[in-house]
Amino acid sequence: MQADLIIQARWIIPVEPESVIHENYSLVIDDGKIVDLLDNESALQKYRPRSLEKLDRHVLIPGLVNCHTHAAMTLLSGLADDLPLMDWLQNHIWPAEQKWVSEAFVRDGTDLAIAQMLRSGTTCFNDMYFFPEVTAQQVLQHGMRANIGLIVFDFPTVWAENADAYLEKGLALHEQLRNYSLLTTSFAPHAPYTVSDEPLAKLRTFADEMNLTIHMHVHETRHEVEEQQQKTGQTALQRLIDLGLITPSFMAVHMTQLTEQDIADYAQTGGHIVHCPESNLKLASGFCPLAKCLAAGINVALGTDGSASNNDLDMLAEMRTAALLAKGLSGDPGSVPAMQALKMATLNGAKALGLDADIGSLQIGKAADLTAIDLGQIETQPVLNPLAHVVYAVGRQQVTDVWVAGRQLLKNRELTTLDLDDLQQRVAVWRERLVEK
């Protein structure tokens, strides 16, 4: 039987089923999908591959899913560090965006983000930013997978003048992208303090009719929660629940300010949480009570947030931080064990995006979105437990190969669809502009 590719790896961690780690196994890929998973000897007896990849020192995992990004903001990394969120946003980031954000900015910033994500093992990202049509174009050009946020604000920005205009442009973009297999779309109202009830009610109706997910910053800081209570008499979360916005298709990003009742109420809605621990730590926004949310049955995914507040797009580091922070906050070293952390970075993200039938684990019939990590380097020796090393020890420089839908986008650390020299030159131009006095 013929197949496009067989990848032989020292270890394969499929994520589903949870308890399994295969050693000296093969993943068989044909037409962009996983068609078999079996031991090396049996694979070569059963299949005649057009290409054979031997990764004798590597662990193969599902491609990482970065469930919250502002990809183009990678150009703003390091612009305004060590500041609280609202000062950072209002006095530094928003003015810089007003001055510089354009189609060219989003094109070059997205290319930079895609390069960084691929080189750290991410195969799918969920974005929220201006000029989403440009982000989608770059994703298609470079062969990555993404969920494109159809942003909504009440106020004018470089992309639209009011909430109705955002919705109109977003609906048109959704229509343009609906037939691309690597792209999905999601309504992305920015936050409860930047979007009022009327547009939220409209997009909820559209989301229900079009079966789209919704992606929104919620309860990111104590200041946000207190301000919303003063203005509306209820927390933002209560308001969104009352509006009927929170359903099993809703992704609440950050959620650092949660009471026991908030957790119970949110669990009842079936909504998902996207946890961004490193951004929250850096901005001192607070801590998502991860262990309690998981115990309540909430599906929790991971995101890096934008590079301007992280300052990287490294999901391996995010996974490690999430696991360690959960243990420290809960006082329980068994909280968020390694497999659960890996699930949060893969399958849970796919579930939040409604893509778990296609990605998030290495199962027959799913898309071949894969990440290979070299555990043979001295920094990860000896390998007593490959799963523990993936979560607690590896660095992004150990990601050697990445495939999306069976297409190799990273080969021996080299990007196959991006010209790094050209990208470096474009980024250098933006650096000179951004540091102008």
Task: For each of the domains in the chain, give its residue range(s) and CATH number, in order of start.
Answer: 2-62+368-405 (2.30.40.10), 64-352 (3.20.20.140)
User: Got the DSSP string for 388-405?
Assistant: HHHHHT--GGGEEEEEET
What does the mean pLDDT of the chain come to? 96
How many residues are given for the chain?
Answer: 437
| Angstrom distance (rounded) from CA 425 to CA 427 | 5
| Angstrom distance (rounded) from CA 301 to CA 274 | 5
pLDDT of 414: 98
Residue 57: phi and psi, rounded to 5, are -110, 5
| Angstrom distance (rounded) from CA 68 to CA 97 | 19
Alpha helices in 211-346 (DSSP H): 222-232, 236-242, 260-269, 277-282, 290-295, 315-330, 338-345
| Angstrom distance (rounded) from CA 19 to CA 16 | 8
* Angle subtended by helix axes 103-118 and 420-434, to nearest 10: 130
Strand duo 145-152 + 414-415: pairing: unpaired
Torsion of the alpha carbons at 19, 20, 23 and 27, rounded to the nearest 10: -150
pLDDT in tens, 269-288: 999 999 999 999 999 999 99
Closest CA to 68 of 216, 287, 195: 216
pLDDT of 436: 76
Whether the model clears a pTM of 0.95, i.e. scores above it, the answer is yes
Kindly give the confidence (pLDDT) of every residue in the chain, 437 residues in length, as a single tens digit, with 9 standing for 90 and above: 999 999 999 999 999 999 899 999 999 999 999 999 999 999 999 999 999 999 999 999 999 999 999 999 999 999 888 888 788 888 988 888 889 999 999 999 999 999 999 999 999 999 999 999 999 999 999 999 999 999 999 999 999 999 999 999 999 999 999 999 999 999 999 999 999 999 999 999 999 999 999 999 999 989 889 988 898 889 999 999 999 999 999 999 999 999 999 999 999 999 999 999 999 999 999 999 999 999 999 999 999 999 988 999 999 999 999 999 999 999 999 999 999 999 999 999 999 999 999 999 999 999 999 999 999 999 999 999 999 999 999 999 999 999 999 999 999 999 999 999 999 999 999 999 988 75
Closest CA to 216 of 232, 239, 233, 234: 239
